[in-house]
Amino acid sequence: MDPVEKAKAAMGGLERAVAGLPGIKGYREKEMRREADKQVRDSLARRLEIRRRKLTALQGDLLSAGGLLWMDDVERIVGRLQLLIDRIKTASYGYAPMWGLQRVKEADLDRLTQFDQSLFDELGKLDEAVAGLEAAVKANEGIKEALGSVGELVSALNETFRGRAEVVQNAE
């Protein structure tokens, strides 16, 4: 079910009555869309945080296995992942003041939510790359390639998220 539809279904009777009043209905629906996008981003940030903690744990495993040589590489990847998490948590949620020059329409807010939701599709690839790194650390071989794969995916996620602002800026 669409996150906005979930929010509408969760509304109480009084909230539905007030939301149906002229002038309030459109405002309330925009707020639900913004809240739905925020929930999607919060969930994405939590899931990425789990991957970041796993990489940090792998860093400890690597160090205990004598992989001091790889510490800077892992730290760089963890830092880029933390940057992405912070950017997702603090991203704009499509707000425009009532009298602002640039109006954010419901369709634009829906595109933001869809964009953020699409990032979830990339988590599977990141999980595979982290699992590959974990296997490389355990086998103590192929670590450089595994680190490269994880690093490339984290960089690609950061680059994809950079394009988020264009979703609203290029709106019709």
- Give the pTM: 0.73
Distance between CA atoms of residues 165 and 142, nearest Å: 37
SS3 label, residue 38: helix
Tokens of 151: 């690093």
pLDDT of amino acid 100: 45
Give residue-wise pLDDT tens across range 39-72.
888 999 999 999 999 999 999 888 887 778 889 9
CA proximity to 46, closest of 105, 110, 2, 89 = 89
